[in-house]
Structure 1
Amino acid sequence: MDLQTRIALTTGTALLTCVLAVAGVHAYAAGRARRQALVERLAATGQLTGPGGRRRRFAGLDRRLRRTALGRRLGLRLTATGLDITPGEFFVWMLAAVAGLWLVGQAALAPFFGPIAGLLGVWAAVQFLNWQRQKRIERFINQLPELARILANAAHAGLALRTALGLAAEELEAPAGEELAKVSHQLALGASMDDALGELAERLPSRELVVLVTTLVLSHRAGGQVVSALRNLTETLEERKETRREVRTQLAQVSMTSYAVPVLGVGSLFLMNGVQDGALDRMTGSPLGQAAVLIAFGLYAVGFFLIRRMSRIDV
């Protein structure tokens, strides 16, 4: 092989290496961009939460749980609460809490109270999700007047509804900003305005949000005086916000009473067992005593739900 051939071969190899290096860098950058876009899209739809998609525990259990109807409902409920936790993680923590309460009830009271304490753990976990969801709904309702005001100003400036929703998502804090960001992302992916806003109303159900969604959907379909409608709705939402605050303040004592009733019942069991050691063992050692305990717990539960029902005022 002469010198000219070697020079040509070396030059060609160097050029090919440079081309492959440039192509590799381009493929790497494109892959990172696609991954980041996927993470942001999953985070916007609630399938992946946490900044940058933190590493999740119990991923295998989470995948299997999401295939079931219970897992799908649990995922929707967790999305509505805004908690940074997957259905698999919540299920494992709930089982751990149930096992702990089972052991505590069995050791501190009597073996008969172990399963009852476990059931109370499941009920407490469900109530915790309901409380978190309701708290997020209340925070969102409090932001609705400002949301309607932003949308009215954007419509008055001639902006389209999609653009106005994106602007409101940037201006408002959580949870309204996060929920509107999900709506904007769904619209960018090709979802219709009716479907995106309808899913928002399903995640955070409330009369105020239904009225706002209905106004936006009708204005998007048929046009009309959306600016005046949104401004009138802003005033109405402000009034309802103050009314809800007054009603919640008036019913605060009743709500505390509903929780105090079952707490007193459970406290009486500890008091009875403390006064006479082994009293609960002897009481639950017979079918009659077990039936009496179950009836007592049932009456406490009925009292709790009746107090909660009577103190519920829809505004």
Structure 2
Amino acid sequence: MAGAVEIPMIVYLMGGGAMLFVLLVGGAVMSFSGGEQVKSRRLGTVTKRAKVDEVKKKESGIKVIDDGRNAKGLDKVIRKLLPNPNLLRQRLMQAGLETTLNQYFIVCLGVGVFITLLNYKVSGLSLVPSMLFGVGGGLGLPSVILKWLIGRRREKFLGKLPEAMDLMVRGLRSGLPVSETIKTVGAEIEKPIGTEFSRVVDDLQLGRTMEESLWRCADRIGVTEFRFFVVCISVQRETGGNLGETLANLSEILRKRRAAKLKIKALSSEARFSAYLIGSLPFVMGGILYTLNPGYISKLFIDPTGITMLSVGGTWLTIGFATMAKMVRFEI
């Protein structure tokens, strides 16, 4: 193409290194959140005692260990590539998907090939940068979508959980056993609450205990509030007491907890909007300048001073994003 400026390969390599550094900095800031660590420790302390009896029961039964020796074909390749395939399988269940690891791997591969061809054929990049973008997109885009699906499903579950507890309280006060109230919730409440409670009923019909069935459901959902619900039922079955009153109190606590979260979200909306607006300005203005005068802005990608400016600016922009995200995130 006449007048087009050829960008050296070193620019792509330096840009990829800067992007990797930015992602590592952002991930490190997010992963060392004190609130998440405190919540995990508190939840582990609360649920440890409730799981002791279930562990003892499972130790006396027959265990089937999946060590990967019987894996064949694509399963064997996935087990070698993924350090912990069970974690990915659990995330797929938490998203409410019936997708297997093979299907997820094929989707990632298809997304990567599509992005590679798009950059190579349409954008005119060379093969190596196109493959780098393809690998990043094939691994990152499905993971981002999966995380979004998990968050959306958890929000729906939390929104209906107090209503499900109220329905169980009315059933318990009328004299129904716990298993029947769970069956009623599975039939009356819409998904994902109804779907998960129906699975609990199916597990009970297959011969599993109440605690085991509820903990399996808690692992599929991954919601802290539901683990509190399971602990209440487990402790009541061991020590006795008025389960209806306990669930009614827990339902009220969950409603207040959700109301506080929504209030915090509303109060921090201005800061979040400012972060989105300020963060998008460099990319929007860069796109406008590239459209109007490509030769003018292309010096940033060719001149060493411009490359240094882009790297420093991208690093500080990511640090600012991480700082603002931590400022508007509160654990209740």
TM-score, L = length of structure 1: 0.67
Q: State how many pairs are aligned.
A: 257
For residue 175 of structure 2, the aligned residue among 158, 179, 183 is 158
Matches within 5 A, 1:67-106: 68-83=82-97, 85-102=99-116
Residue-by-residue CA offset, 1:263-292 (whole Å, 9 max, x unaligned): 434334323422332556554346665554
| Aligned with residue 238 of structure 1, among 255, 260, 269 | 255
Higher alpha-carbon deviation: 117-126 or 185-194:
117-126
- CA, structure 1 residues 121+69, in 2 after alignment: closer, same or farther (shift >3 Å)? closer
For residues 89 and 314 of structure 1, the distance between their equivalents in structure 2, rounded to whole angstroms, comes to 35
Q: Secondary structure at the match of 1:224?
A: coil
Name which one, 1 or 2, has greater alpha-carbon Rg: 1
How big is each residue's C-alpha offset from its partner over 1:30-62, in whole Å with a ceiling of 9 and x where there is no partner? xxxxxxxxxxxxxxxxxxxxxxxxxxxxxx746
Shift of 1:177: 0.8
What aligned pairs does 1:274-293 form with structure 2 within 5 A after superposition? 274-278=291-295, 282-285=299-302, 289-290=306-307, 292-293=309-310
Aligned to 1:312: 329
Q: CA deviation at 1:218?
A: 0.9
Task: Quote the offset at 1:120 in angstroms.
Answer: 5.6
Please name the residue that 1:217 is paired with. 234
Which residue type is aligned with residue 88 of structure 1? N
Match of residue 65 from structure 1: 78
Matches within 5 A, 1:113-262: 114=130, 115=132, 119=136, 122-262=139-279
Do the aligned partners of residues 295 and 253 (structure 1) sit closer, same or farther apart at CA in structure 2, a change above 3 Å counting?
Answer: same
Residue aligned with 2:329, SS: coil
Instruction: Report runs of 4+ in structure 1 exceeding 6 Å deviation.
Output: none
The one-character-per-residue Cα deviations of 1:173-198 (angstroms, maximum 9, x if unpaired) are 10111111222222333333333322
Q: Distance in 2 between matches of 1:142 and 1:105?
A: 42
Is 100-109 or 254-263 further displaced after alignment? 100-109
SS in 2 for 1:74: helix
Structure 1 range deviating more: 76-85 or 248-257: 248-257
**Residue identity in the other structure for 2:264:** V
Gaps of 5+ in 2: 1-72
Q: What RMSD over aligned residues (CA atoms) do the two structures have, in Å?
A: 3.4
Task: Give the equivalent residue in structure 1 for 2:33.
Answer: none
Structure 1 residues 152 and 213: alpha-carbon distance in aligned structure 2, compared to 1, 3 A threshold: same
* Post-superposition CA distance 1:96-122 (Å, at most 9, x none): 334444555666496697535753664
**For the residues of structure 2 that align with 1:105 and 1:265, how far apart are their CA atoms?**
22
Query: Once the 2 structures are TM-superposed, how far is the Cα of residue 227 of structure 1 from its aligned partner?
Result: 1.4
| 1:267 partnered with 2:284 | yes
| Structure 1 unmatched runs, 5+ | 1-59
Q: Deviations over 1:202-249 (max 9, x none)?
A: 333334223222111111222211111112222222333333332233
Letter in 2 for 1:211: F
Measure how far apart 1:261 and its partner are: 4.7
* Mapped contact 1:78–1:129 kept (Cα < 8 A): yes
C-alpha displacement of 1:136: 1.1
Of structures 1 and 2, the one scoring higher in RCO (CA 8 A, sep 6+) is: 2
- Same amino acid, percent of matched pairs: 22
* 1:194 maps to amino acid: E
Secondary structure at 2:208 match in 1:
coil
Checking the alignment, whether the CA contact within 8 Å between 1:152 and 1:230 is kept in structure 2 is: yes
Alpha-carbon deviations, 1:54-100, whole Å to 9, x = none?
A: xxxxxx74686378544332221121112454433333333333444
Per the alignment, do residues 275 and 255 of structure 1 end up closer, same or farther by CA in structure 2, a change over 3 Å counting? Answer: same
Task: Give the corresponding residue for 1:297.
Answer: 314
Amino acid at match of 1:96: G
